[in-house]
Amino acid sequence: MVAFIALDATMKYSLQTYSLVEVTWARFFFASIFAALICGRDLPQLAVSHMPRVQLLRSVFLMTTTGLFNAGISQVPLATATTIMFMSPILVTLLSIVVLGEHVGIRRWAGIVLGFIGAIIVMRVWETGLSGLNQGALFLLAAALANASYQITTRRLRLDSPYTSLLFTAAAGALVTSFLLPFHWSMPDMKGWLLLISSGFIGCLGHLFLIKAFQSAPASVVAPFSYSSLIWATSMGFLIWGDVPQISTLVGAALIIGSGLYIFLREKKLAN
């Protein structure tokens, strides 16, 4: 989680100087290089997927998530952006009804509603109305939906190694953004190159840590740690930009995190 928030902070900082396309390209392009190095001698085998269509669809969802998130985070404080992205697990439950045909009882529906109330509080809808919503917040809400789709697609991957997924998502994002890059390119200076390369390295490292975490412990132990990212986002946002979270952000975060954990624990209980 520290790595992922460091990635978000690096991209947000880079977006002050470089275009959305260039920053997104760097995140995927340099992640592809580091992912290939991690695979080492097993790269030829790991680069072949048993479910290529699902991998490509998953890659599209992650690429969309990253692009929308970058568009949003350039306008919204880091802690607020992280809080809105906490909607993803709640949206996963909602999408599982439509996409996977899963049954959701009244208790999990209550958790979903509570999560959306939290999102409304974070975005302060009562002050501006729906028509006056911050554009960055809307981008982030769309990113949370795309991320939920990414997670739903990940559930369908049963035959591929996690390292194959790591390679596919990075390479697909790099390929697509490379076509757009010439129209949005600005030559980085030394500091810029360091930021852009670091984003790929940190992003790849975060996914590697996540793979290792799920290999070392049950999902019920690992998943709740995602909510610790609010601590790191608040800390980095304050240290780099001097951002102090509003009370509405903290209250909304408490509702979203609480509902997300409740849904997660409820699904775990039903699975047993």
Read off the DSSP letter of residue 156. Answer: T
Q: Which of 255, 62, 265 is nearest to 152 (CA)?
A: 62
Q: Which residues of the chain have pLDDT under 50?
A: 132
Task: Give the N- to C-terminal CA distance of the chain in Å, as an integer.
Answer: 28
What is the span of the domain harbouring residue 218? 2-271
221-230's contacts with Cβ under 8 Å and 24+ in sequence apart are 223/264, 224/261, 224/264, 225/1, 226/1, 226/89, 227/86, 227/257, 227/260, 227/261, 228/1, 229/1, 229/4, 229/5, 229/82, 230/79, 230/82, 230/83, 230/86, 230/257
Instruction: Collapse the DSSP code of 104 into the 3-class scheme (helix H, G, I; strand E, B; otherwise coil) and give the result.
Output: coil
Domain count within the chain: 1
What is residue 264's predicted lDDT score, i.e. its pLDDT? 79
Max CA-CA distance within the chain? 56
